[in-house]
Chain A
């Protein structure tokens, strides 16, 4: 897809709380709401904003591993939980590991572009706190190549994959600067999460998250060699949803372009799941997807005023800064350490905390990111709101699956 053959709008985005450790009300021993609850809550928060929810034509449900976390497949049919009128409408569950949410939005966009539907509800959901972390690691390892790398992989498979990336980056560009950059990313995640009451780290009261991070040296015996647990995204239950609409659909939904954002570019790329990344210090697939999205929008990275990127680990935040072209190879850590990605910096990233601070219900994250950029661009971000520079009115999202294997990048701007 080189260009968008007609305008595509996104509107009425919302999400549930990200639930799990960090929330004071979370108690691993108590029973918790399931997939049904999250899908209904997020879906209804979206369509509840419509005068008439029956205008929705179709649904997509992004989800990674409900089949293992919850022994539940067939999530497409849970779309009908959201509103009685959705019975007998089409709906599909889509999966691309942690990019499942990104794929849900991308699929909705394609359906609108194909004239198949005018109003599509893109949902994403994951309920992960059903198993202990050590078994959750098995499940999430499904985002890697099971036959090729699981047996020789680490107990905490994905943390170790990104620990290897952090290790390679440290070795090549310096231990101290890398570790500091990771600590600053963590600090920024917590500071931003505190602005959003649905964030998993909203209640984090640590007076100095950076110091806490720096003091917790990685320990390969119990976890990973180059990252600590604070470098990781959270284990989360949550869901997010947004409507994707054509111009006709937007009008039918009773919404004006001023309430919506417009998609101006989208990139979607995969790399071979069965081969390892060539250079651990680069996110080449993310870079490709971003280039596609910017080219379609006719923009450069200098035009972007707000970002929501896939920081599954703090090191991923740093590597993404470089994949975006904001800093040269090897200088992403210094870029972060200099505060340039903070909410008051020139290129604010993850204004509600990102995957490290807001939380990472895997299948929901890609949708949640679009929702947050939509809220920022339309002035609906509440206490998370930042000033969007008038000369850079665009937002960019990256949803990434596995070890940089499936990526969806979107460029958005306020519609009117």
Chain B
């Protein structure tokens, strides 16, 4: 493995997208670190950032710059050590400025794919379309014959890519989570054809970027989406069932609350789907469905898309309307799928009725936020789910079914050989989705 020499010329294709820009920044940081080591003095480091969209590339430069400043300010303590042999740079401000300039200069934005020529590491994060990915990989193979290719695909089997593009085993799934600089989890997906050295290089890079790497087998959706899509589908089916009696707004409200408060997750399932994007959810369902002997589409999602209710984020990071509308990140109204309108939350009216139907929270109650850093977290979880197990209310009942379904999905991921073991599944949900516990657990037997 000659990682350090591979790191002197790296390319990111699709660099200006959501995932590509984060990956570009992470790589630029590591390359800047290498460039500062005394043994690398005078060596040129280049990070070729390719994207079709020139405007987005301008945005990428701005993004990388702002992130670099923030990161340098935050890590000034360590940065000073890296600059120990630069007597001309004394103050924090001088060091931070040099570091940021170094990162800015490292990133070479271009719309010309040919600029990747000679790269020995290529990260790819372009649109999730297998035909486009395959055609880009065919060109990449010619442009950089020695390169290792790391694809960020969420659902395309790596072996299929390798075969279709003829990459000879030099491709690996390196599946970052959004946003890559913040999310610790990276799923590593090796195809049967992937060579050992490619995996070794990716593992070392992952370590240097301080990521938690979890291996997943090459089955569409891998672990993360493998759980997320099925878990979401369960929530959607439950809502459809409840809607018959309570109507859509109450049904969405109830299932969202159960998945957040009773299951102690950072957000409810419909808020999460809104966050990811209802169209993106549908897209992953479709791609996974193509490779798996299982129907993953869901009628509620299809109806939402028909009505052009898509969720996702605005460019400023605020949430677009989906199952809910939001103000400052908080839910303020709920969609009525039959009427096509949003119903404002009304604790004295319909929302209160839905909460009454659910029944009380298991008391004493500590929300996700209060438990996430708590030293007594595991004991608190056991106690919480004992109380859930004893609840004779709709809330308790829905929570137990949900927990059971999530466990079933987790076990199936192991049984189908997607995850190597239960720890793999649990690790992805805790580090990638910020759950307090993995789906394969002994709570509520």
Contact = CB atoms under 8 A, between A and B. Distances in A.
Interface string B78-96: 1110001001001111001
A71 interface: no
B331 interface: no
B76 A134 contact: yes
A134 B69 CA distance: 12
A374 to B, nearest CB: 38
Give chain A's interface secondary structure class: loop
B77 interface: yes
B90 A221 contact: no
Given A155-B76, A156-B77, A150 B93 contact: no
A154 interface: yes
B73 interface: yes
A179 to B, nearest CB: 19
Nearest to A135: B93
7 contacts: A134-B96, A138-B93, A150-B91, A152-B84, A156-B77, A220-B77, A221-B78
Nearest to A220: B77
Contacts of B92: 134-135, 137-138, 155
Nearest to A224: B77
B87 A151 contact: yes
B72 to A, nearest CB: 9
Contacts of B93: 135, 138
Interface string A219-241: 01111000000000000000000
A132 interface: yes
A386 B79 CA distance: 47
A134 to B, nearest CB: 5
Nearest to B88: A151
Contact of B77 (A132, A135, A146, A221): A221
Given A150-B90, A154-B80, 15 more contacts: A134-B76, A134-B92, A137-B92, A138-B92, A146-B90, A150-B91, A151-B87, A151-B90, A155-B76, A155-B77, A155-B80, A156-B77, A221-B77, A221-B78, A222-B77
A68 to B, nearest CB: 10
A133 to B, nearest CB: 9
B11 to A, nearest CB: 32
Contacts of B79: 155
Interface in B83-125: 84, 87, 90-93, 96
A39 B199 CA distance: 64
A210 to B, nearest CB: 18
Ranked nearest first, the 3 interchain pairs of A and B with the lowest CB-CB distance are: A155-B76, A138-B91, A155-B77
Interface of A: 132, 134-135, 137-138, 141, 146, 150-152, 154-156, 220-223
Given A135-B92, A151-B87, A155-B92, A223 B73 contact: no
Nearest to A160: B77
A148 to B, nearest CB: 12
Contacts, number: 32
Contacts of A138: 91-93
A132 B72 CA distance: 13
B67 to A, nearest CB: 16
B97 to A, nearest CB: 11
User: Among B74, B87, B91, which residue has the most Cβ atoms of chain A within 10 A?
Assistant: B91
A138 B79 CA distance: 14
Contacts of A151: 87, 90
A223 B90 contact: no
A226 B55 CA distance: 48
Contacts of A132: 73
Nearest to B79: A155
Contacts of A135: 92-93
A6 to B, nearest CB: 46
Contacts of A222: 74, 77
A220 B81 CA distance: 13
Nearest to A150: B90
Contacts of A156: 77
Contacts of B91: 138, 141, 150
A151 B80 CA distance: 9
B87 A134 contact: no
User: Among B73, B74, B90, B96, which residue has the most Cβ atoms of chain A within 10 A?
Assistant: B90
A138 B96 CA distance: 12
Nearest to B77: A155
B182 to A, nearest CB: 17
Contacts of A146: 90
B408 to A, nearest CB: 40
A134 B99 CA distance: 15
Contacts of B84: 152
Contacts of B78: 221
A222 B80 CA distance: 12
Contacts of B73: 132, 134
A295 to B, nearest CB: 41
A222 B71 CA distance: 12
Nearest to A141: B91
Contacts of A137: 92
A155 B78 CA distance: 8
A372 to B, nearest CB: 33
A151 B74 CA distance: 19
A223 B77 contact: yes
Contact of A154 (B74, B77, B87, B96): B77
A141 B91 CA distance: 9
A221 B76 CA distance: 10
A151 B87 CA distance: 7
A110 B139 CA distance: 82
A125 B35 CA distance: 43
Contacts of B80: 154-155
Contacts of A152: 84
A233 B91 CA distance: 21
A138 B91 CA distance: 6
Nearest to A146: B90
Interface in B30-86: 73-74, 76-80, 84
Nearest to A155: B76
User: Among A138, A146, A155, A222, which residue has the most Cβ atoms of chain B within 10 A?
Assistant: A155
A223 B74 CA distance: 10
Contacts of B87: 151
A297 to B, nearest CB: 42
A137 B87 CA distance: 19
Nearest to B78: A221
Nearest to A147: B90
Contacts of A150: 90-91
